[in-house]
Structure 1
Amino acid sequence: GKNILISLSNGKTWLTHLGMTGHLFFYSNNNLTAEKHDVLKIKFKNNSGELRFEDMRKFGRTYIVEDHPQKPIEKLGPEPLKVSFKQFEKIFSSRKRKMKPALLDQSLIAGIGNIYADESLFEAKIHPETRTDRLSQKKLSALYQAIRKIIKRAIETGGSSVRSYVDVEGRKGYFQIFHKVYGKEGERCPRCKTKIKRIVVGQRSSHFCPKCQRKSMN
């Protein structure tokens, strides 16, 4: 998810949660100017530069863990590319929750954010308000495969630079050009040409196609 663990040479672990606007940036020695939102600087022994944690809105967290580096993240669920379908099916079929908030619950699956939840639900043709326990095994399998496909493609393209996201070297991702529903309220669905709708589910915006992702009446 948003947690990054880096093992240090002294045996300790640098643990960072990026929050909403946190970034890790590498600065070479010829570009070590102080930045307004610097939170932490790590200098390399080979004098090649610095790795910095910068956070404009200060919702992120960063600290050094001396022992048990897994303890701060032990309540998180498995990552979307590591969870098996058997685990995935058990996680969601045993709960009675709306699908969108369940996907964003990091204690169930860690690493699915708002963008990738919307895109995955569209890919699997599932309405964001569908209850998790009412999905058939076939639909859960479709969602499982959709999440893996979306996350892998997002990684390959460097992520979604919708607002401020850039990688450690300051480069923007370009998965946003492949978004089919997220942030596209009022635009036409790429499958059926119905207008994309936006609703609020679990206090989060959700974008979907009302025709491709029909709400279950059960």
Structure 2
Amino acid sequence: MSALPIAIELERQKVLIIGTGALAHERIISLLDTGAVMELYGSHHLDSRVESDIREGRVTYYHRDVCEQDFMDAKLVFVTDIHRLNPPITVIQKWAHQHHAWLHVADVPSLCDFYAVSQLRRGDLVIGISTSGKAPSLAKQVRLALENLFDESWAPLVSKLYYYRCQRSEQAISVKSAHLQQWAQHYVHKHLVPRIVRAQGEMDPAYSDIPWRPEEMP
């Protein structure tokens, strides 16, 4: 069964991050622009980048194991290391569901209420790549490839189209919906398609000759 891709507004919403390793840092960075109120829990060694996140005030850190009271009013819960977890994941899952919070457990799709997508953000243009939690490394590589295709020039395009869309809504005469579609299509063909063509021509031959043998994968 396929998951439904959605975007969640997290401004001023409480988000729990359980774990203090490298993946916790990735979660903190991915949530920075959302305006979420992040709380980090864990009593194990802090990754150096997580230490930096704490020093710079990106997240509130509690040097202890998470307890049920911490789940009150939480919107999302990220468990970043199931192998160094106390209390056990069954308890964490119970608390999350009792307090109506959505749970994400890294590398365990069967325990997830939602999947964290690999995202490329250019202003209000957000591109999410997901493998439904099955191959996050592939999602990351796709996102890295797309970064070269979508530069920062895409951010003002969204603002410009939004401005004209609001003008059309308020005045109901100045700009037709078809025109907005044409402008967006023109920008894609002018700026995106040529980059894709160039990227194909610049493909590293070392990768093109690698045979695909799934049976050799561990």
TM-score where L is the length of structure 2: 0.24
Larger radius of gyration: 2
Query: Greater strand percent: which structure?
Result: 1
TM-score where L is the length of structure 1: 0.24
